[in-house]
Amino acid sequence: MNATDLALLADYKRLLEQPSFVARATNLIGSPIEKAMEKLPANWQGKISEATRAALTKSLQVATNSMDAGNHGPSPRLHKLAAAASGALGGAFGLPALVVELPVSTTIMLRSIADIARASGEDLSRADSRVECLNVFALGGVATGDDGAESGYFAVRAALARAVSEAAAFIAERGIVMEGAPALARLIAVLAARFQVQVSQKAAAQAIPILGAAGGAALNVAFTDHFQDIATAHFGVRRLERQYGATVVRAAYERIAL
């Protein structure tokens, strides 16, 4: 691997192993996000879980079906503007608006992720590339019970590999058909377990009464920024794997010290 690509890989590892949404949210709300999470009503964890699954399902149905394989670059600013508009709703109406706003903002982010994937050489006419776009939501978070060995980038990819491959095979054969599709249900379940962590953090920040529409918009921009960074790194790693081979890239990745 040449020096330029090694430097890129180091940047990708920094983005993948040190997710920064919590830091971004903390900067916006002016207090540690963990304290805000402690103030969430007890019954809202169940609602957040339901909202997360609904958002991922809706995104899979809407955004994935409308992805194209055209050769045009990503439009991160456009998607951030759309996410900001969606976040303004959440900030204005607080936690109850999350159920309505999350499917919208998640679909917007998935379209942005697809643009990044396409710009990195992914063929979005392929079902596996489309599912990898959705997979970014899992790579940007941790699941309950993860330890350091289980939360690293390649460990997470390995843990999700079967669900991702089964879902991709199903989509390639039958398209997006949620009813009677255990492969897609399993994919949504494993992705939701990880994406829900970020959604809970976002919900905690939105629950702060003084956030308001402007703050909600800024929070959604930070949320979108976070997953755009994860997408840039993930699809950058996949591009290097296509060029050098997966074994070579992983070995080089593991030698990089942060």
Look up tokens 């089964």; give the residue.
Answer: 166
Q: What is the largest CA-CA distance in the chain?
A: 52
pLDDT, tens only, 8-39: 999 999 999 876 677 777 766 666 666 767 77
Residues of the chain where predicted confidence (pLDDT) is lower than 50 = 79, 83-84, 87, 144, 148-149
DSSP state of 19: -
Domain count, the chain: 1
Taking CB atoms within 8 Å and a gap of at least 24, the contacts of 53-57 are 53/188, 53/189, 53/192, 54/99, 54/102, 54/103, 55/102, 55/103, 55/105, 55/106, 55/107, 55/199, 56/106, 56/134, 56/137, 56/188, 56/191, 56/192, 56/195, 57/178, 57/188
DSSP state of 97: G
What is the model's pLDDT at position 246? 96
Helix segments in 94-181, DSSP class H: 98-119, 127-139, 148-151, 153-174
**For residue 100, what are the domain limits?**
3-255
CB atoms within 10 A of CB 72: 9
Token pair for residue 14? 């920094």
Task: Match 């006419």 to its residue by tokens.
Answer: 125
What pLDDT is attached to residue 66?
59
For 211-255, the pLDDT digits (tens) are: 555 566 777 788 888 888 999 999 999 999 999 999 999 999 999
Tell me the C-alpha to C-alpha distance, in Å, between residue 225 and each of 109, 111, 161, 219, 232.
9, 13, 25, 10, 10
**DSSP labels for 40-62?**
S-TTHHHHHHHHHHHHHHHHHHH
